[in-house]
Amino acid sequence: MQDKPVVIGVAGGSGSGKTSVTKSICQRFSDKTILVIEQDYYYKDQSHLPFEERLETNYDHPLAFDNDLLIQHVRSLLNHKSINKPVYDYKLHTRSKEVIKVEPKDVIILEGILILEDPRLVDLMDIKVFVDTDADLRILRRMVRDIKERGRSIDSVIDQYLNSVRPMHLQFVEPTKRYADIIIPEGGENYVAIDIMATKIAQILSKSNKNSLQKSIEN
C-alpha cells in the first residue's frame, strides 16, 4: 500500500450520475484499489424519531449529515486504520443497526451531494470532481430511481423535489462547483471524462509506487 491514500471527492446534484461515474471509475481498477465512502451513509441517525417525523427531515441541507463522523473516518483511513462504515436505509430514513468494517485502500472516493460543501472535507481531498447534469434530467432520473429502489411514490418525489431538493441544490450544492478541479457534464456515460479520471488515478498510483520502491532501495 502507498504512503497516503489518494482522496477524491465526487459531488453533484441528486440524480446527476455521481454513483454511476464512481462505479465506472472503480471498474477500471482491481477491487483492492478503490474504497467508496457514500456521504449518504453518514446522514444523522434518526432511529430515536418516529417514522412520521423522519419524513419531515430536510435531507438536502448540510445539517442533515454527520460530517464529524465522516471526517473522523476519513482521517482513520488516511492513517491506515479500518473503520466501521454506517449503512443507510432510504426506506426507513435512518441508519441501519449494522455497520460494515472496511479496510483502507490506495484510493478513497468520497461521494455525495454536499461532499464539497464542508471545507474540512475539501481539505482532505487530492482531487475534486463535480458531476454536472441539467435539472430536468436529474429529476427524471431521480423519479425513476426513487420509485424503483427507495420505496417512494410519484407524489412524494415531486413534493420533496419542490420543497427541499431544488431549493437546497441552488443554495448549497450548485455553489460547490467552484471548488471542483474537474467538472463532468452528464455523468455516468461520459466515458471520455471517466477515462481521464482513471488515467490520472493510475498515474498517481504508479508515481507513488515508484517512490516507495525508490525509498526501499535507498534504505
Ligand X SMILES: Nc1ccn([C@@H]2O[C@H](COP(=O)(O)O)[C@@H](O)[C@H]2O)c(=O)n1
Binding-site sequence positions: 12-19
Helices 18-27 and 191-218: crossing angle in degrees, nearest 10, is: 50
Amino acid in position 65: F
Q: Which does 173 bind (CB under 5 to 8 A by kind): ligand X, ligand ADP, none?
A: none
Nearest 5°: CA angle at 6, between 177 and 102? 105
- Of the residues 40, 66, 126, 174, which one makes contact with ligand X according to CB under 6 A: 40
- 145 touches ligand ADP (CB under 6 A): yes
Q: Which does 9 bind (CB under 5 to 8 A by kind): ligand ADP, ligand X, none?
A: none
Element of type H or E holding 34:
strand 34-38
- 86 touches ligand X (CB under 6 A): no
- 14 touches ligand X (CB under 6 A): yes
- 9 touches ligand ADP (CB under 6 A): no
- 15 touches ligand ADP (CB under 6 A): yes
- 18 touches ligand ADP (CB under 6 A): yes
Nearest 5°: CA angle at 192, between 188 and 195? 90
* Cβ atoms of 51 and 153 closer than 8 Å: no
Rounded to whole angstroms, the Cα distance separating 121 from 115 reads 7
* Cβ atoms of 7 and 115 closer than 8 Å: no
Q: Which stretch binds ligand X (CB under 6 A): 3-11, 12-20, 76-84, 176-184?
A: 12-20
- Of the residues 12, 65, 152, 176, which one makes contact with ligand ADP according to CB under 6 A: 12
Q: Which stretch binds ligand ADP (CB under 6 A): 69-77, 180-188, 199-207, 210-218?
A: 180-188
- 15 touches ligand X (CB under 6 A): yes
Report helix, strand and coil shares of the chain as percent, to nearest 5: 50, 20, 30
HEC readout, 55-69: CCCCCCCHHHECHHH
Binding residues for ligand ADP, rule: CB under 6 A, are: 12, 14-20, 141, 145, 186-189
Binding residues for ligand X, rule: CB under 6 A, are: 14-15, 18, 40, 43, 59-60, 90, 93, 113, 165
